[in-house]
Homo-oligomer: A and B are copies of this chain.
């Protein structure tokens, strides 16, 4: 397959491994890129010097393309930018902020820019800012999420019909069937997060990987909507949040309850009680920890087999 995304990223498959805090370092990104997809290093949980080290290790291990995901809500983004430019990073995915903030600067440096959106307004804003593509991420996705709560099935065709740049579908996609469904809706690539959390090469703590594999339907919930909405795996920390929200806690109370470094505690250090565990609804269908390359080739095979089946359909 060749399309605008494979041409843009110079990848074999239009399959992107999401840049996730605490889970996607150089090991995961290089495993995905070696297997023909696009690996992303998630800078959201990295100090500039860590990001520097991670990109260097990626480049030492893999000559393929890669991207860095940079959430725009953090301060001190300048130092991250320096690292990104120093390494001649070919592609940057920006998220959680205004796409107008960095897109012109990054484009001027010759970098391909993709912005993650969850509604039509920001898709149009991103296009206007000059991005090369958008990731349209639905309600079922793990981690930070949109206030509109629009699901992937509803969001993708809406964005595809409204922008000219290619659309990468995200949220609820962990299989070749779901990838093909996204293509039926008009997406030209998929971004997959949760399924790669439960990979051998993910830097998630083993406890967190096991928790993802054990998750059943209804195991996650979009939470902390008064701060930044985030999809969490239900655990004792989540229950405290839910209880506070049910009694009408203020944003300040929720901020205090959240505190600092909970995401690291949960996802990287494996504290399943008090940690913040970000994962998507599709975790209910993830039942095994596998090498990232194997995950990717399973998705490719299922995509092709399902496309063959569908080609016989005619109403």
Residues of A within 8 A of B (CB): 1, 13, 119-120, 138-140, 147-155, 157-158, 161, 171-173, 175, 177-178, 180-186, 216-218, 221-222, 246-248, 281-282, 284-285, 300, 303-304, 306-308, 310-311, 313-315
Contacts A149-B222, A218-B148; A282 near B154 (Cβ below 8 A): yes
CA distance A151 to B153 in the complex (A): 8
CA distance A221 to B218 in the complex (A): 18
Verify B183–A313 contact, CB threshold 8 A: yes
Shortest distance between the CB of A154 and any CB in chain B (Å): 5
Query: Of the candidates B13, B119, B153, which one forms a contact with A138 in the assembled complex, judged by CB atoms under 8 Å apart?
Result: B153
Verify B186–A177 contact, CB threshold 8 A: yes
Residues of B within 8 A of A1 (CB): 313-315
Contacts A172-B153, A184-B184, A281-B151; A217 near B310 (Cβ below 8 A): no
Give the residue among A140, A151, A307 with the most B Cβ atoms within 10 A.
Answer: A151
Residues of B within 8 A of A306 (CB): 184
Shortest distance between the CB of A216 and any CB in chain B (Å): 8
Residues of B within 8 A of A140 (CB): 139, 150-151, 153-154
Verify B148–A151 contact, CB threshold 8 A: no
Verify A307–B314 contact, CB threshold 8 A: yes
Verify A153–B153 contact, CB threshold 8 A: yes
Q: List 27 A-B contacts (CB under 8 A).
A: A120-B216, A139-B139, A139-B151, A140-B150, A140-B154, A148-B217, A148-B218, A149-B218, A150-B217, A150-B218, A151-B281, A153-B153, A153-B171, A153-B172, A154-B282, A157-B178, A157-B285, A158-B217, A177-B184, A178-B184, A178-B185, A180-B184, A184-B306, A184-B310, A248-B248, A304-B314, A310-B310
Shortest distance between the CB of A113 and any CB in chain B (Å): 23
Contacts A178-B185, A313-B183; A150 near B281 (Cβ below 8 A): yes
Verify A300–B315 contact, CB threshold 8 A: yes
Known pairs A154-B284, A247-B248, A303-B315; list 15 more (Cβ under 8 Å): A1-B313, A1-B315, A120-B216, A139-B140, A151-B153, A153-B173, A153-B178, A154-B282, A157-B285, A161-B285, A180-B310, A181-B184, A303-B313, A304-B315, A307-B313
CA distance A303 to B181 in the complex (A): 12
Shortest distance between the CB of A135 and any CB in chain B (Å): 15
CA distance A104 to B126 in the complex (A): 55
CA distance A152 to B307 in the complex (A): 20
CA distance A21 to B179 in the complex (A): 34
Shortest distance between the CB of A5 and any CB in chain B (Å): 12
Shortest distance between the CB of A125 and any CB in chain B (Å): 14
Query: Of the candidates B119, B175, B247, which one forms a contact with A157 in the assembled complex, judged by CB atoms under 8 Å apart?
Result: B175
